[in-house]
Chains A and B, each alone.
Chain A
């Protein structure tokens, strides 16, 4: 099942590639069909996890290749617990929506667009499913070429610079992780996710810290965290909107997922030691992102910084090393995946109608495009994490975890970030939907039925899961508890408040 899920996007890309140019018209419906099948597969994997009491699914390891000069053999082995399964759902749903919404803007080159998107989806699945560190790294790096190609060939006017910036940041950021993998293979003779943690425990603290920071850097660039966010705003605003939805909704999650699945469980002692500074960095990222978002005039840049802020809080939540906060992080990742995806896709509509992203050139859309306005408003409410949306549950659990482990001062700071996020989002709503209609937006346009089909499910999911977060928690909680590589084993004794302060 997991093999099939991992292989399906690559098979889909191959099928689209084999469609002859004469029948290029069927590429769009075909890709939607394939995308739906993949989505269904990813849901089946989630429900499997839920039905078998959340016991993680895993495949038989298969010796793949030997790392020269060491005793380590890289294995092709997949592993899926509730966390992986939900991340896969996120990736496949966003891919489907992105394909749907992007068709009208990339029309004649749609086949190539779909192929690259499917390749990116396959790499995302690989990241979420790999249980060998080298295998994970392979998929982590494999994300870069299709994403960079999509940005460079379908993006806005500054697309080339954005693509190079994106590729340079992520590749240089992950280079130390490659070195860390060689070190792990040399020092411990294994690259298997379940065995590294035991094997590195006997190494001196300095060495393990270096490994920890090499891993953390790669994920901090991908998420991104504060000093490593230079690529984000430019990439998100230049990339075609459908791709941005995947980048912010699913690819940035690989960063947080990497902290949760790899960095913290592999090096628990170091994580405990540096938890406070990294969590503070997360909170600082959140406040910085929100403040910058307040000053943006471009919708996509605003959403990029909002993404930065939300994921900063998620990373802070990871490093509380507190079980319920980590549940909150998972909920928040799912919530942000859907809401950011929906926001970017919705924002692409007025951009296409009036060929601009500048907020001040819109206004009064509530009167002219009422359905669009309602959807946009609802999405914004979900993004601000107002109850009863899923984001609220997640944010609440994280803030509570921060309060309990790091003290009320930091929790108050993080809470301030949440208020700021409400401020910039409401400013966006106010400027776009209400007020006087500007001249540039002469003919009133409305969201089409097809586009609604692509976006509404994302919003519905946010509310349904918000009312019943246990649907998600039920699949995550036992999985996180029993998963040999994941969070629970990382903290043999629950960190007391004293160690963290």
Chain B
């Protein structure tokens, strides 16, 4: 356990982002409307950069049995900051086009990011809950940003109602957990005679987190919410919330596997806990169901946002399957393939959606595949970035997505889930078809005259950072600590 003085550097990245949110809120009223979308994004960006720099001070350890830090977590936080920056840049591109008068969305995004960063660090169910709510509530507001739009209202309503419901499910699970262990800590051990309660609590918490991650059959909100939200918000929520949910899930998973240790998320551990995690076939079912739903529902879609929504469901499936990969020896689990996949997915998806927000305007059909035609000729670099992201999502080399999928499926094979791995691979080929549809649309000749689409410099800067990060982990997967 760290004394207070050492807690400070570990919390510093989160604190800086929270301060950034507060400062953007405070600046918002004193800026003229014209300047809001010019200055606030850069303010937010500066705080994200500051936060990224401060991750260098992080020391591995756990504070008060509530918040933990290790190399994997600090890597996830860095990726979160990149995704956040891409989201901010997307907003800065899209909001001025819709004549949005407020500057608060930037602060909302930073607040939500603060929540996700807390989720990543939590090793206690209550801390995880606080982080989850702090990330979710600003996103409700962001999804419903355009109040006149029916789609936004529908998406907001669905997300809000189901999100609240699953928050309650989470809390109920945490209560059962507390009832069976006497503590809200993830690493608490079960009291004799309360194993059934323990299992139920575990299941509720896990299902609530899987809802946040958008895995089937808890994916019903994903497509409508992603379509209702504006493109940059979709990009932000599809990546950061997924990182938060899976970081929470992974930490819970490891802590349940081997209670009462400080655990590095990236290292393989021996299973000592009471739950037989590796024999939980229900996760195979959830994973495969998500991949099937994601792959086949995506085939008929004509809007990039909906395609990306089903891609998010399918990718959640691969991530769930990654929970079942054992470490190198016997009864152990190691989640490093999960983290690599999560990082590769988040970066690629954020790049694609931030890139597509260069098209976003007031029109609902801005990202229909027909509208994408001709983008390649007009904005070759933007289109190249989007293409790279899509290739990575499709799991094709040389992008990081290939190694990520290869790693997870090879791990599943060595676990003995041979058929699962083979089916998952074939479905990956199916989903290739719809990623390819977007790529083809982008590079096709335009059918009619297209209006010029320009974007602010902040989008260019953040895209360069994102592409650089994606290429770096493609060439050097060991950066993620495998």
**A-to-B contact residues, CB < 8 Å:** 17, 21, 64-71, 109, 111-112, 134, 138-139, 141-142, 144-145, 148-149, 152-153, 160, 163-164, 167-168, 171-172, 175, 178-179, 181-183, 185-186
Contact = CB atoms under 8 A, between A and B. Distances in A.
B413 A182 contact: yes
Contact of B421 (A160, A163, A182): A182
B396 A141 contact: yes
A263 B277 CA distance: 39
Contacts of A111: 380
B407 to A, nearest CB: 5
Interface stretch (B15-23, B111-119, B433-441): B433-441
Nearest to A172: B429
Contact of A167 (B334, B426, B436): B436
Given A112-B376, A164-B436, A179 B396 contact: no
The 3 closest A-B pairs by CB, nearest first: A69-B414, A182-B413, A68-B411
A144 B396 CA distance: 9
Interface class of chain B by DSSP: helix
B391 interface: yes
B147 interface: no
B337 A68 contact: yes
A315 B433 CA distance: 31
Contacts of B391: 145
Contacts of B176: none
Contacts of A21: 380
Contacts of A179: 413, 418, 421-422, 425
Contact of A70 (B376, B410, B422): B410
Interface stretch (B206-214, B355-363, B398-406): B398-406
A183 B398 CA distance: 22
B397 interface: yes
A64 B433 CA distance: 29
Contacts of B396: 141-142, 144-145
A182 B409 contact: yes
B328 interface: yes
Interface in B107-129: none
A111 B482 CA distance: 38
Given A69-B410, A134-B406, A185-B414, A149 B439 contact: yes
B402 A168 contact: no
A167 B396 CA distance: 11
B477 interface: yes
A30 to B, nearest CB: 16
Interface in B456-482: 477-478, 482
Contacts of A112: 376, 380, 443
B426 A138 contact: no
A178 B328 contact: no
B325 to A, nearest CB: 6
Given A65-B403, A179-B422, 17 more contacts: A17-B380, A65-B482, A67-B407, A68-B408, A69-B413, A111-B380, A138-B397, A139-B397, A141-B396, A145-B439, A152-B436, A153-B444, A171-B429, A178-B425, A179-B418, A182-B414, A182-B421
Contacts of B426: 172, 175
25 contacts: A65-B407, A65-B478, A68-B408, A68-B482, A69-B325, A69-B326, A69-B410, A69-B412, A109-B377, A112-B376, A112-B443, A134-B406, A138-B397, A138-B398, A148-B436, A149-B439, A167-B432, A168-B429, A168-B433, A171-B432, A175-B425, A178-B406, A179-B425, A182-B414, A186-B410
A69, A111, A167 — which one has the most chain B CB atoms within 10 A of its CB? A69
A182 B439 CA distance: 29
Contact of A175 (B411, B429, B443): B429
Interface in B82-98: none
A122 B74 CA distance: 35
B439 to A, nearest CB: 7
Nearest to A148: B436
A142 B397 contact: yes
Contacts of A182: 409-410, 413-414, 421
A183 B391 CA distance: 25
Given A64-B477, A179-B425, A69 B411 contact: yes
B397 A178 contact: no
Contacts of B337: 68
Interface string B6-25: 00000000000000000000
A142 B398 contact: yes
Contacts of A160: 440
B397 A141 contact: yes
Given A153-B443, A183-B413, A185-B414, A65 B425 contact: no
B336 interface: yes
